[in-house]
Amino acid sequence: MAGRNKEKEQDKVRDLRAGLALLWGEQEQPTRGPKPKLTPLRIAEAAAALADAEGLDAVSMSRVAAGFGVSAMALYRYVPGKTELVELMVESVLAEGPDLAGVPAGDWRAAVTEWTRQCARVYAAHPWLLTATAMRRQLLGPCQLRWLDAALAALEPTGLGGAQRHRVFLLLIGLVRNHAQQRNEREEEQEREWDRLTGELLARHAARFPALTRAIAEGAFDPDGTDPLRFGLDRILDGVEALVAAGA
């Protein structure tokens, strides 16, 4: 048992190293043997497309391999395992990096807003991205770093220190991911039935949740036109502005 654990840890380190090499394309390609039919990138893109179409659960080694007309095990020649495949999927989808060229220089609010919008757009286009990046310690690929870099750059005109810029960045992806989660939830088909049942339940137990009942009475859950991402972003930016004004 103890030995098993040790072995596992060493494996993990190797996996880490291998995974990073894969993400950064830093592996010498072989010269011998037959020409490979695939590449890690093409596999990842196919897997991402599959996830776009049928959800992350539909992405199994067999399904992805079948898309190329090869057996499941063939993929293992390109990718160490499913974990790494998912990491590559994330990278492939983040490849279209943030483009903040159109933003007036020095206007950090505009820059951050644009960054956030673009990031949210990616999450919206690929609902599985949220789950794929949840929980697991992310290995940072070049594309992820480009996004991070762009956000930090956008924040530079604030004059905030490095640590604070980083913290604001964390706040921002948090916002985006949170927004994505809410979007994903809304997208599910059973929505109407869900609303009905929940509403019913709420009416039945109104007494137990007075504040909630009041909020509902004020229309808290009625869909209004306003963009929830906008709301959160404005709150956060106002908060940052206050921090900047305080002269940190």
Partner DNA sequence: CGCAACTGCTGATGACATAAACAGTTTAGG
Partner DNA sequence: CCTAAACTGTTTATGTCATCAGCAGTTGCG
Residue 193 sits in the site that holds a second copy (CB under 8 A): yes
Query: Which partner in DNA, a second copy, none is near 102 (CB below 5 to 8 A by kind)?
Result: none
Where on the chain is the footprint of DNA (CB under 7 A)? 30-38, 58-63, 65, 69-74, 76-78, 81-83
152 touching a second copy, by CB under 8 A: yes
Is-contact 51 58, C-beta < 8 A? Answer: yes
For a second copy, which residue of 6, 7, 16, 66 counts as binding (CB under 8 A)?
A: 16
- How many residues bind a second copy (CB under 8 A)? The answer is 80
In angstroms, give the least distance from the CB of 143 to DNA: 22
User: What is the token pair recorded at 137?
Assistant: 């310690």
CA atoms within 13 A on the CB side of 36: 15
CB 94 within 8 Å of CB 52: no
Q: Applying CB under 8 A, does 236 fall inside the site for a second copy? A: yes
Contact 89, 44 (CB under 8 A): yes
Give residue 238's Cα distance to chain centre: 24
Which of helix, strand or coil describes residue 139? coil
- Burial, 1: exposed, middle or buried (Cβ in 10 Å; 0-12, 13-18, 19+)? exposed
* SS3 of residue 246 by DSSP: coil
Q: Is 6 one of the binding residues for a second copy (CB under 8 A)?
A: no
Residue 38 binds which of DNA, a second copy, none (CB < 5-8 A, kind-dependent): DNA
Residue 71 vs 187, nearer CB to a second copy: 187
Q: Which is nearer to DNA, 71 or 182 (CB)?
A: 71
Q: Does 231 bind a second copy (CB under 8 A)?
A: yes
d(C-alpha 153, C-alpha 107), whole Å: 12
d(CA 114, CA 154): 10
φ, ψ at 33 (rounded to 5°):
45, 175
Binding mask 55-84 for a second copy (x = CB under 8 A): ------------------------------
Q: Which residue in the set 17, 37, 77, 121 belongs to the binding site for a second copy (CB under 8 A)?
A: 17
From candidates 38, 103, 148, 183, binder to a second copy by CB under 8 A: 148
Shortest distance (Å) from residue 210 CB to a second copy: 7
Q: Which of 140, 143, 157, 183 contacts a second copy by CB under 8 A?
A: 140
211 is written with which tokens? Answer: 């504040």
